[in-house]
Amino acid sequence: MKFADFVSPEAIRADLEADDKEGVVREMTSALMEAGKVAAEEYESIVKAILKREELGSTGIGRGVAVPHTKHPSVENLVGTVGVSAAGVDFASLDGDKVHLFFLLISPPDRPGDHLRALENISRQLRDETFCKFLKQSKASQDILQLLEEADNNQFVS
């Protein structure tokens, strides 16, 4: 699976304003709502489900990266977006570091394989330090989109 298969370009945010976990989840879910990927009436339900998942254990997987996610019956396909926080957010990460790079995923409950393949793509690409560094330095959503496209074209990982 490629980034283009699940990341909504209009929902990418290079300048997250939130400074805590719930704020980031709300900001990114709003971005998906504004992009028409999630229904307005499902917004609260989705935010709550993502935060509930965080209670089980932080999705801050280290290297300044977090993958907040949930299954939700209101989506028919896997939807996701990318957010960057220049200041970093305390996300209770596994390694304790602040998180600068967020991949938020919402998947249909009956498609665990798609979710797994999206995680596979994100984690595989992020193993490349250059890709990781460039994403964190992105100042505009267009920069992020371009990096994701380059990653999809295997310019970072052979």
Which residues here bind other proteins, judged by CB under 8 A?
Answer: 55-57, 59, 61-63, 65, 67, 69, 94, 112-113, 115-117, 119-120, 122-124, 126-127
State which residue, 1 or 33, has the beta carbon closest to other proteins.
1
| Active-site residue flag, 100 | no
9 three-state secondary structure: helix
Q: How far is the CB of 10 from other proteins (least distance, A)?
A: 25
State which residue, 35 or 94, has the beta carbon closest to other proteins.
94
Q: 106 is written with which tokens?
A: 């919402």
Q: How far is the CB of 88 from other proteins (least distance, A)?
A: 18
State which residue, 33 or 123, has the beta carbon closest to other proteins.
123
Q: How far is the CB of 130 from other proteins (least distance, A)?
A: 15
Q: Cα–chain-centroid distance for residue 109? A: 18
CB 42 within 8 A of CB 71: no
Give residues with Cβ within 8 angstroms of 129, minimum separation 6. none
Distances (CA, A) of 155 to 122, 130, 147, 148, 152: 14, 11, 9, 10, 8
The rounded distance, in Å, linking the Cα atoms of 121 and 119 is 5
Catalytic residue annotation = 69
